[in-house]
Chains A and B, each alone.
Chain A
Amino acid sequence: MSPGERIALIGYGHPARGDDAAGPLVARRLRGMLPAEVEVREVIGDGTALMEAWSGYDRVVVVDAVVSGAPAGTVHRLDGRRLSDAGDFRSPSSHALGLREAIRLAETLGRLPGRLDIIGIEGRRFETGDAVGPEVQEGIARAAAVLLDEFAATAGSGAARGGG
Chain B
Amino acid sequence: MSRTRSIKVGTLARVEGEGALHVRVAGDRVTDVKLEIYEPPRFFEAFLRGRSYREVPDITARICGICPVAYQMSSVHALEKILGITVHPSVRMLRRLIYCGEWIESHALHVYMLHAPDFLNYPDVLTLARDHPDRVKKALELKKAGNDLMTLLGGREIHPVSVCVGGFHRTPSPSALLPIRDPLRRARDLAVETVEWVRTLEFPDFEQDYDFVALSHPEEYPFNEGRLVSNRGLDIAVEEYEEHFHEKQVPHSNSLHSVHKGRAYHVGPLARFNLNFERLPESVKTLARDSGMTPPCRNPFKSITVRALETVFACEEALRILEEYEPPPKPRVDAEPRAGTGCACTEAPRGTLYHRYEISADGSVVSAKIVPPTSQNLKRIEEDVRQLVPQLLNLSDEEMTRRCEQSVRNYDPCISCATHFLKVTLERT
Contact = CB atoms under 8 A, between A and B. Distances in A.
B157 interface: yes
B392 interface: no
Contacts of B143: 48
Interface in B1-31: 13-18
Contacts of B43: 16, 128-129
Interface in B73-118: 109, 113-114
A40 B17 CA distance: 26
Interface stretch (B126-134, B257-265, B279-287, B328-336): B126-134
Contacts of B44: 128
A97 B62 contact: no
Nearest to A45: B65
Interface in A5-54: 14-17, 41-46, 48-49, 51-53
B15 A109 contact: no
Interface in B172-196: none
A108 to B, nearest CB: 5
Contact of B65 (A52, A53, A94, A98): A94
Given A109-B136, A128-B419, A94 B158 contact: no
Contact of B129 (A41, A42, A45, A105): A105
**In which size bucket is the chain A interface?**
20 to 34
B403 interface: no
Contact of A44 (B65, B114, B129, B133): B65
Contacts of B114: 96
B15 A96 contact: yes
Nearest to B47: A129
A15 B65 CA distance: 10
B419 A49 contact: no
B158 A96 contact: no
B140 interface: yes
B144 A46 contact: no
A42 B158 contact: yes
A79 interface: no
A97 B40 contact: no
A96 B420 CA distance: 9
B147 interface: yes
B38 A46 contact: no
B235 to A, nearest CB: 35
Interface string B224-237: 00000000000000
A92 interface: yes
DSSP class of A's interface residues: helix, strand, loop or mixed?
loop
B159 interface: yes
A122 to B, nearest CB: 16
A96 B147 contact: no
Interface in A97-111: 97-98, 101, 104-105, 108-109
A95 B16 contact: yes
A45 B110 CA distance: 13
B147 A97 contact: no
B84 to A, nearest CB: 31
B40 A129 contact: yes
Given A52-B140, A52-B144, A94-B420, A41 B157 contact: yes
B66 interface: yes
Given A41-B157, A94-B419, A128-B43, A49 B147 contact: yes
B320 interface: no
B211 interface: no
B248 interface: no
Contacts of B16: 46, 94-96
Contacts of B419: 94, 126-128
A67 to B, nearest CB: 10
B416 interface: yes
B247 interface: no
B78 to A, nearest CB: 21
B125 interface: yes
Contacts of A52: 140, 144, 147
Contacts of B158: 42-45
A108 B126 CA distance: 8
B140 A48 contact: yes
10 contacts: A14-B65, A43-B158, A44-B158, A48-B113, A48-B143, A95-B416, A96-B416, A108-B126, A108-B136, A126-B419
Given A42-B157, A51-B140, A105-B129, 11 more contacts: A43-B157, A44-B65, A45-B65, A46-B66, A53-B157, A101-B13, A104-B126, A105-B126, A109-B136, A128-B38, A128-B43
- 5 A-B pairs with the lowest CB-CB distances in the bound complex, closest first: A128-B40, A129-B43, A44-B65, A96-B16, A108-B129
